[in-house]
Each structure stands twice: as structure tokens, then as C-alpha cells.
Structure 1
Amino acid sequence: MNIPVLEASQLVDERIAKPVENTTDIWQGRFFSLHEDQVRLTEGSEPVSREYVKHPGAVAVVPLRVVDGREQVLMIKQYRHPVRVSLWEYPAGLLDVAGEDYLQAAQRELAEETDLHANQWDVLVDYFATPGGHTESLRIFLARDLEEIPEAEKTFERDEEEALFEWAWVDLDDAAAAVAAGKLHNPSAVTGTLVTYYSREKGWSTLRPAESRWLR
């Protein structure tokens, strides 16, 4: 095959909407729904069937502080029943509040899950969690200049899995090493850690404004 070599400026995902001949709504849950599309991939070809889950989107936040010249990230240990594993993660959640954008949701999740707010917000990375069968779009923010929320302003009650949270500050170098060693498995933890590590190595020059647009 004659495979081209791309310039860095050419390495960009592109939104293309293939024609959908028919959609069947299979199942509707509280937040997610399952659908089947008959999509025509090329002109003149027969449609193919593609099943996928519709998802409202989500956010994750990497809270970062500097102690004695070392960057540390705040991680949460949370039980995830579908995989039967307690995973080290970052504060995260669905876009399940009407009218919220990604930044507002991230600020809410940080407050609810860590009792912190941040004065500096930047975009680390955007991705589609499972693009072969899921519409979930996820944005990971870097939150810095952290402050604890006063006790009188803490209104969120943690229940169910959130009542079992464990918190820990982790050196960024140690978190990146844990990813490489196969010790961390949550996708936002893996992605957020590696991009934070990379961004630090680039002097934070890769960070984007908190309200940057993307392909979601």
C-alpha cells in the first residue's frame, strides 16, 4: 500500500455524517438509550446495521496542587459495579443537569466529590469514550489554585457508591508510572494522568481555554 506521511497540522479528526436510512429505538433507560441505525457508508451500497448507546456526555477533572516543588493530583477510589472493581479515578460525572455545559458540570462535580473549588480551569483533552458503539463525549479539565469550600456551603450529600469514596493525593510522576505499569484502568484516570504529565513536560503550553469548542 502507498501510505502517506501526514504533517502534524493534518492530523485532525473530521466530522462526517453518513446518510441514515432508518432508526429503530430499542430501549430507553434513565440516562442512556439503545438504538439501531441503517446507515449507508458509500453511495450505491446497501445500508449496514449499527447499534449504539446514546449518552448525555460527561466530564472529568484532574485537581492539581504543588507541594515542595512536586505536582500532586487528587484521586478518588470508587467501586464500579459493572466491572466489579474499585478504581482510582478523578472527580467525574454525567452532563445530567439541564442547561449545564462541560465547564459548569466539571465545577459542580469537583465541589460535590472533593469539597474543593478551583480558581484556574483549563482543558487537558477531549475524547469519545467508546466511539464504535457509544455517543459519549468526555472532556477532561485541569483544575488548579484549589481552595476548600467552607463548611457552611457544603450542601451535597454523598450516598450509594459515593458514600464509600476514598481520597488520596498522588505525585504526578507516581500516577504516570502506575498507568504504565497497568495498575490504573479507569479511562479518564489513564488519559487525564498521561496528558497532565505530557502538558507539564511542555511547560503547560498544550493547555486550552476552558470553553474551547470541539467535535462533540
Structure 2
Amino acid sequence: MPKDGPNRRRDTPPEPGGWETLSHRRVVDDRWLKLDAEAVRTPAGVVLDPWWLLDFPDWVLIVPLTTLGEVVLIRQWRQGARGFVLETPGGVIDGTDADAQEAARRELLEETGYAVGQTRLVGHLWPDPARNINRCHIILATGCARAADPTPEPGETIETVLVPLAQAGALLRDGQVESAMHCAALLRGLSAAGQFG
């Protein structure tokens, strides 16, 4: 787990007044998806069985700002949307990464070919706290410059999109960034850079 912030996992005690976990079983154990069924009891004594949880790995979303005053975004095929979606670069924090910032540097270089000058963790988000137990870590990357050709993973279809920093807020206002997590990451990153709100 990254050292950059909290991630409430199954072994973390719940907050007082929360639900009690009565039982837990893994139903699907795949490389990309783990599906758990839990029996839980609410403070009112109601038992919910099964309560489904998705156990995805933590991941990073990066808001990269170039030395030329641009935001580096990607347009990536997303099967669920059945189309290309404008997003911030990002990906899973894997076992080779010391922390979320290292994962951000690796993912940005792989997906876009851009190297990072400085990184700063600007926040964490729960993608879906009702059903998912993973966290998304938002990284502001500054001083980014093209250093190599992108090396996307097999199965990724990605195009790099450079947007002038002054126009990045309009992407959010105009609905050009439609993925909720990427909207939130872009807003948090631009705000941390003093460029929005």
C-alpha cells in the first residue's frame, strides 16, 4: 500500500457507530477484479446479506503541467463508454512502486512519454465508497516535458492531448471531460496549482 495516505481496508477497524461485518467470503479472485460478499449488521440491527464489495487496487490520477504551460491529457478507449474518453493520465499502483507519486511518474511516462519535474500529492478520493474499498490518489505533476515515446500496455488505445492551461477549466465547464473521477482529479489538481476556483 502506498505510504501517501490512508486507505480503509478490511483490516482497518470501522468507525464507531458503523456496520459490523459478520462474515466475509471472496467470490471472484481475478487479476483485475476481486468481488467479495459480506454479511453486515447495521446499528439498527438490520442484517444485509450479501453486501457486495469490489476490491480493486489503489490507483493514481495525474494532473501533469508542462514547462510550456499545457495540461497533458489522454484520449483513451473505454469499453464501458463504447468510445474514446478524455481523461487525466493514471493507473494502478503496483508492487514496484514505493508510493503513489512514484506510480504517477511511471504511469505518465508509459502513457504519454512525458517525464515529471516535481510531484505533489493533492488529495485522495473514494471512487465509490458504498461498493469499492480502493482509493484514488491525485498527483499534481509540474515541470513535465516530453522525454520518450509512449509505451502503453497491450490492450490500451491512448492518444496524448495537450491543452493550454488557460483552457483547461473550460473542459470541465463544457463537459468535455465526462468521467467523474477524472473531473474531480482535474479540478483538485488545477486548484492546487492555483489555476481554478
Which bracket does the TM-score occupy, shorter chain normalised? 0.7 to 0.9
User: Shift of the alpha carbon at 1:134?
Assistant: 1.1
Are the aligned partners of 2:113 and 2:151 in contact in 1 as well (CA < 8 Å)?
no
Aligned residue type for 1:53: L
Name the count of aligned residue pairs: 181
Are the aligned partners of 1:89 and 1:188 in contact in 2 as well (CA < 8 Å)?
no
Larger radius of gyration: 1
Q: Which runs of 5+ in 2 are unaligned?
A: 1-13
Q: Describe the SS at the equivalent of 2:109.
A: helix
Matches within 5 A, 1:150-189: 157-162=151-156, 164-189=157-182
Choose 169-178 or 117-126, whichever is displaced more. Answer: 169-178
Equivalent residue, structure 2, for 1:24: 25
Matches within 5 A, 1:62-141: 62-65=63-66, 67=68, 71-98=69-96, 100-141=98-139
Q: Which runs of 5+ in 1 are unaligned?
A: 1-14, 204-216
2:105, 2:167 → 1: CA distance? Answer: 26
Residue by residue, what CA displacement relative to the aligned partner does 1:128-163 show, whole Å, maximum 9, x if unpaired?
1111111121011011112333x5xx7x7435443x
- 1:47 maps to 2:41: no
Aligned residue type for 1:198: S
Are the aligned partners of 2:19 and 2:41 in contact in 1 as well (CA < 8 Å)?
yes
Are the aligned partners of 1:19 and 1:41 in contact in 2 as well (CA < 8 Å)?
yes
1:178, 1:148 → 2: CA distance? Answer: 22
1:40/1:98 CA distance change after superposition, 3 Å:
farther
2:96, 2:116 → 1: CA distance? Answer: 23
User: Shift of the alpha carbon at 1:92?
Assistant: 0.6
Residue by residue, what CA displacement relative to the aligned partner does 1:37-74 show, whole Å, maximum 9, x if unpaired?
111221x713223111001110111110254xxx4211
Aligned residue type for 1:107: R
User: Shift of the alpha carbon at 1:114?
Assistant: 1.7
